[in-house]
Protein backbone atom coordinates (compact mmCIF):
# COMPACT_ATOMS: atom_id res chain seq x y z
CA UNK A 1 0.00 0.00 0.00
CA UNK A 2 1.25 3.45 -0.84
CA UNK A 3 2.23 5.84 1.90
CA UNK A 4 -0.92 7.79 2.76
CA UNK A 5 0.75 10.36 5.01
CA UNK A 6 1.39 12.84 2.20
CA UNK A 7 -1.00 12.22 -0.65
CA UNK A 8 -2.83 14.66 -2.90
CA UNK A 9 -5.38 13.94 -5.60
CA UNK A 10 -6.55 16.66 -7.99
CA UNK A 11 -8.88 16.80 -10.96
CA UNK A 12 -8.45 19.78 -13.23
CA UNK A 13 -7.49 21.14 -16.63
CA UNK A 14 -3.98 21.63 -18.02
CA UNK A 15 -3.10 25.30 -18.40
CA UNK A 16 -0.45 24.62 -21.07
CA UNK A 17 1.37 21.76 -22.74
CA UNK A 18 3.92 20.17 -20.38
CA UNK A 19 7.49 21.45 -20.48
CA UNK A 20 9.75 18.39 -20.68
CA UNK A 21 13.52 18.39 -20.18
CA UNK A 22 16.15 15.67 -20.13
CA UNK A 23 18.77 16.30 -17.45
CA UNK A 24 22.49 15.60 -17.94
CA UNK A 25 22.00 12.35 -16.03
CA UNK A 26 19.44 11.20 -18.63
CA UNK A 27 16.53 11.62 -16.21
CA UNK A 28 13.41 13.18 -17.73
CA UNK A 29 11.30 15.76 -15.90
CA UNK A 30 8.00 17.32 -16.98
CA UNK A 31 6.41 20.40 -15.44
CA UNK A 32 2.92 21.70 -16.05
CA UNK A 33 0.15 23.66 -14.38
CA UNK A 34 -3.24 22.24 -13.44
CA UNK A 35 -6.28 24.43 -12.74
CA UNK A 36 -8.92 23.24 -10.30
CA UNK A 37 -12.16 25.16 -9.97
CA UNK A 38 -14.75 25.27 -7.24
CA UNK A 39 -17.97 27.23 -7.11
CA UNK A 40 -19.98 28.90 -4.40
CA UNK A 41 -22.95 31.26 -4.14
CA UNK A 42 -22.17 34.64 -2.61
CA UNK A 43 -24.47 36.59 -0.24
CA UNK A 44 -26.20 38.22 -3.24
CA UNK A 45 -27.01 34.86 -4.85
CA UNK A 46 -24.35 35.12 -7.55
CA UNK A 47 -22.35 32.07 -8.60
CA UNK A 48 -18.64 32.71 -7.98
CA UNK A 49 -15.85 30.59 -9.45
CA UNK A 50 -12.70 30.06 -7.39
CA UNK A 51 -9.85 28.70 -9.52
CA UNK A 52 -6.59 27.48 -7.98
CA UNK A 53 -3.44 26.77 -10.02
CA UNK A 54 -1.16 23.91 -9.02
CA UNK A 55 2.42 23.21 -10.16
CA UNK A 56 2.84 19.55 -11.13
CA UNK A 57 6.16 17.74 -11.60
CA UNK A 58 6.47 14.28 -13.18
CA UNK A 59 9.71 12.29 -13.38
CA UNK A 60 10.97 9.60 -15.76
CA UNK A 61 8.02 7.48 -16.98
CA UNK A 62 5.54 10.12 -15.88
CA UNK A 63 7.51 12.72 -17.84
CA UNK A 64 7.51 10.51 -20.93
CA UNK A 65 3.73 9.96 -20.57
CA UNK A 66 3.21 13.71 -20.14
CA UNK A 67 5.24 14.53 -23.22
CA UNK A 68 3.44 11.97 -25.37
CA UNK A 69 -0.19 12.37 -24.29
CA UNK A 70 -0.90 15.60 -22.38
CA UNK A 71 -2.08 18.75 -24.14
CA UNK A 72 -3.33 22.13 -22.97
CA UNK A 73 -6.98 22.09 -21.89
CA UNK A 74 -7.23 18.35 -21.18
CA UNK A 75 -9.03 17.25 -18.05
CA UNK A 76 -6.64 15.22 -15.90
CA UNK A 77 -6.59 13.45 -12.55
CA UNK A 78 -3.22 13.65 -10.80
CA UNK A 79 -2.18 11.76 -7.67
CA UNK A 80 1.04 12.63 -5.91
CA UNK A 81 2.65 14.21 -2.88
CA UNK A 82 3.16 17.79 -1.75
CA UNK A 83 6.74 19.02 -1.83
CA UNK A 84 7.78 22.38 -0.40
CA UNK A 85 11.00 24.16 -1.29
CA UNK A 86 12.73 27.50 -1.22
CA UNK A 87 15.47 29.37 -3.04
CA UNK A 88 17.08 32.79 -3.12
CA UNK A 89 16.17 34.80 -6.22
CA UNK A 90 18.66 36.96 -8.16
CA UNK A 91 18.11 39.81 -5.66
CA UNK A 92 18.79 37.56 -2.67
CA UNK A 93 15.13 37.41 -1.62
CA UNK A 94 14.01 34.03 -0.28
CA UNK A 95 11.18 32.54 -2.37
CA UNK A 96 9.00 29.59 -1.41
CA UNK A 97 7.55 26.95 -3.72
CA UNK A 98 4.85 24.31 -3.46
CA UNK A 99 4.71 21.53 -6.04
CA UNK A 100 2.92 18.24 -6.44
CA UNK A 101 5.23 15.42 -7.47
CA UNK A 102 3.02 13.11 -9.48
CA UNK A 103 3.09 9.34 -9.08
CA UNK A 104 -0.05 8.65 -11.16
CA UNK A 105 -2.05 10.44 -13.88
CA UNK A 106 -5.27 9.60 -15.70
CA UNK A 107 -6.65 11.53 -18.66
CA UNK A 108 -10.37 12.19 -18.12
CA UNK A 109 -11.06 14.07 -21.38
CA UNK A 110 -12.81 12.07 -24.04
CA UNK A 111 -10.87 11.39 -27.22
CA UNK A 112 -11.33 14.31 -29.60
CA UNK A 113 -12.11 16.85 -26.83
**What does each of the 113 residues of the chain score in pLDDT, given as a tens digit?**
556 789 999 999 999 999 999 999 999 999 999 999 999 999 999 999 999 999 999 999 999 999 999 999 999 999 999 999 999 999 999 999 999 999 999 999 875 55
Comparing CA positions, the residue from 78, 96, 79 lying closest to residue 87 is: 96
> What is the C-alpha to C-alpha distance for residues 6 and 96, in angstroms, rounded to an integer?
19
**Domain range annotation of the chain:** 8-100
What is the SS3 assignment for 96? strand
Task: Answer yes or no: are the C-beta atoms of 98 and 112 closer than 8 Å.
Answer: no
- As a CATH number, domain 8-100 is 2.40.50.140
Amino acid sequence: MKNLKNQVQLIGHLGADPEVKTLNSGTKVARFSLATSDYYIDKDGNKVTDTQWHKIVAWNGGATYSEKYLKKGMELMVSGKLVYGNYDDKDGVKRYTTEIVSHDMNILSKKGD
